[in-house]
Structure 1
């Protein structure tokens, strides 16, 4: 019998951790909703069963973005909006099977404060190629991704575990030809990033906001726990950061990486089902 590879062992370990994390903390105090909200959540759960993964999470993220945009427009300066924001999401049935602990409200407020700071300081930034409206929309989309991950971390953990596994396997298998190397001057780090993007697109059909968010976390590992100084520096360079992400997504070899990843998406998704079932 062949030995299990380190990458496979890590994937199995991550999935085991994910399975354990699904068990609710008996001491945690979860946010409860009223009966009407529960019925809405039940209806939403039935809808989820007839749409695919991408549509489910797109629906939820669009709702987060829409509600966030409205609450930011109506916000009084220095107002804490996390609690009504989270309650509105729960009442809307967007997290029907995910118990949300009350402690998450403070975490969400920190996330909101981070993006509010960025958005409030856009007027101080010299914007060249994008108008402020486009930049505002881009940042709001990234914020929605972080909020969703914060409220449903178990789902993201499992997704990222499979992505990391696929990236590790593809790194070992993909070799850049000498001609392509000369034409594109692609570096090893760029190859790894393109593999990472291709895995997201092929496996889960992830779209621009969430890939951008994942790239930010990859390039700035501190992002989810950024200090005020780090947030300020990030804000000052926001245009350059988003331009770099756009260039990365439009790399000349991006489509080739995607086609390679797409060949293997079915076996990896089957592997996901097998490990999850066991």
Structure 2
């Protein structure tokens, strides 16, 4: 076996993570398994698809979000001091986040152990569910618990090792402002930015990692650890949230995103050829060839994913706009304003699907020059002595004086006034009424931002710096205010989305109880049938 001790420690860790098989949750033959009724599962799966269709989430976060939702419902809505792990696992199986008739019955005890430790901590904290501040802290701890349980169901050994490799590669290149204390504080901010950029971790996962870092004993907690957390819990939450929402975090995220693709390609190579990793590391030509093939495969996959997502988005937007037109715009035009000019209605129905189609289909996948640079970057990751063409330059968030910040913010505000003012004037010229203008602007901003998120699939493949030109600067001037408003809506909509509120707090609880009762009824009938035979 090829010796890899000459390589950086983080890379050695990554190699071992890919050489070892992923943990298999499936029960071996002869061991009792969790098996649920397939018919009932289809109903629950349909509900879950409906729930996810009205809230955009990264696919790899869906199960963790479902776990958080279930725990939140059990603890906050149903006011339970005990949460049954079997019921949680059953819900995940019905929603197809876990396989049916595959998991060992023993997994229930493992998950129950982790649920119980968080319930015990909640009891020690003596948080009141009727207090808004306490409910916020309960929701915070539930989000950490959901990430912890997800880690038990699907350990992120490879992902965490890949984050460490990227951290070791670019940390010394990142020069942070002097206002941030050197050492641990800067390291944490960089680590969080890499987590977000490379494996798209959400706030709950970042909280879990910082919580585990602050209290490593939490993996095997005792009464003393629980008491220690209790005495510092408020300060712990504030410290973690301050780091996650640090003013510099967005700029660090932008920098880290530019360098994620070579690390993802390296992981693809390791995943595709786990038995040849050590040989590839010692043969630059073979690694270059494997990296180029992995990059080509990723480009093809991203292109098809972009087209698929664009088509689905166009259909979804068109249906949503038609329903909104029939429910609000048309009645307002006819019965309130008593107008018969339907041109604004037609524009409002057709413009946004066309806009989404343009945004999605105008995305261009990177070319061969970019692929060559990615291949070079992979070599720089695994071979510290290689010429530093990609990772050689210093990466520094640009510092600005207070006066310049004030001046630029004023100019930035003016771009909002100019952009939205011009759009509103144009819509008024086309005889849009107040309601139609609001709907048009809302969909314009949200769809523009969502379209940018869709294009991110292709943008993440690029390591080349895009050249600036006058047309691009003008486009940025016009689009930036629209995208910023869309980003604001995307963050606030889940909190104020009436459909999500109805599904989570009005429909979901009784629906899940109904599913559980029906499941038990089918199980009872099966037992009676077996008694007869």
- Cα distance between partner residues in 2 of 1:241 and 1:261: 26
CA shift, 1:244, in A, is 0.6
Tell me how large the CA RMSD over aligned residues is: 3.4
Q: 2:25 and 2:69 mapped to 1: Cα distance?
A: 31
Q: How many correspondences in the alignment? A: 260
Question: Secondary structure, in 3 states, of the residue corresponding to 1:21?
Answer: coil
Does 2:12 match 1:9? yes
CA separation of 1:213 and 1:80: change in aligned 2, threshold 3 A:
closer
- Confirm or deny that 1:222 pairs with 2:217: yes
- Once residues 205 and 76 of structure 1 are traced to their aligned partners in structure 2, the CA distance between those partners, rounded to angstroms, is 32
Mark the CA change 1:192 to 1:30 in structure 2 (over 3 Å): closer, same or farther: farther
Q: Which runs of 5+ in 2 are unaligned?
A: 274-533
1:217-244 residue CA offsets vs partner (Å, 9 max, x unmatched) = 1222222222232123213321111101
Change (3 A) 1:131 1:20: closer
What does the per-residue CA deviation read over 1:8-33, in whole Å, with 9 as the maximum and x for residues that have no partner?
A: 2321111112x353495636544333
- Bigger CA radius of gyration: 2
Q: Which has the higher contact order (CA 8 A, sep 6+)?
A: 1
State the match for 1:158 in structure 2. 158
Q: Deviations over 1:70-114 (max 9, x none)?
A: 33354665x561222222222221123995332221221121112
- Which of 188, 196, 214 does residue 201 from structure 1 map onto? 196
TM-score scaled by length of structure 1: 0.79
- For the 8 Å contact 1:202–1:265, the answer to whether it is kept is yes
Mapped to 2, the partners of 1:196 and 1:33 lie a distance apart of 41
> Of the candidates 93, 103, 108, which is equivalent to residue 105 of structure 1?
108
Determine whether 1:67 maps to 2:70: yes
2:246 aligned residue (242, 248, 251): 251
Q: Distance in 2 between matches of 1:5 and 1:97?
A: 41
1:132 aligns with 2:134: yes
* Greater Cα shift, 228-237 or 261-270: 228-237
Distance of 1:54 and 1:149 partners within structure 2: 18
Runs of 5+ consecutive residues of structure 1 not aligned to the other structure:
none
Determine which of 208, 211, 219 is the counterpart of 1:213. Answer: 208
Task: Give me the whole-angstrom Cα distance separating, in 2, the residues matched to 1:159 and 1:54.
Answer: 19
1:159-214 Cα shifts (integer Å, max 9, x gaps): 2121122222223x33536xx33x33x13112221121011111122211111111
Structure 1 residue 267 corresponds to structure 2 residue 262: yes
CA contact (8 A) 1:69 1:140 kept: yes
**Whole-angstrom distance in 1 between the partners of 2:101 and 2:44:** 11
Shift of residue 124, structure 1, vs aligned partner: 5.8
Q: Could you tell which deviates more after superposition, 246-255 or 93-102?
A: 93-102
227-236 vs 95-104, which moves further: 95-104
Is the Cα–Cα contact under 8 Å of residues 74 and 80 in structure 2 kept in the other structure?
no
| Deviation string, structure 1 residues 131-165 (Cα, Å, up to 9, x no partner) | 11211111111111111111222xx1222121122
Change (3 A) 1:207 1:256: same
- Measure, in 1, the Cα distance between the counterparts of 2:188 and 2:137: 23
Does 1:34 find its partner at 2:29? no
Instruction: Describe the SS at the equivalent of 2:105.
Output: coil
Is the 2:14–2:158 Cα contact (8 Å) retained in structure 1? no
1:54–1:205 Cα contact (<8 Å) kept: no
User: In structure 1, what is the Cα distance between the partners aligned to 2:46 and 2:154?
Assistant: 19
CA–CA separation in structure 1 for the residues paired with 2:267 and 2:100: 20
| C-alpha contact (below 8 Å) 1:37/1:90 kept by paired residues | no
Relative to 1, partners in 2 of residues 1:4 and 1:231: Cα closer, same or farther, differing over 3 Å? same
Report the CA distance shift for 1:137/1:98 in structure 2 as closer, same or farther (over 3 A): farther
Q: TM-score, normalised by structure 2?
A: 0.43
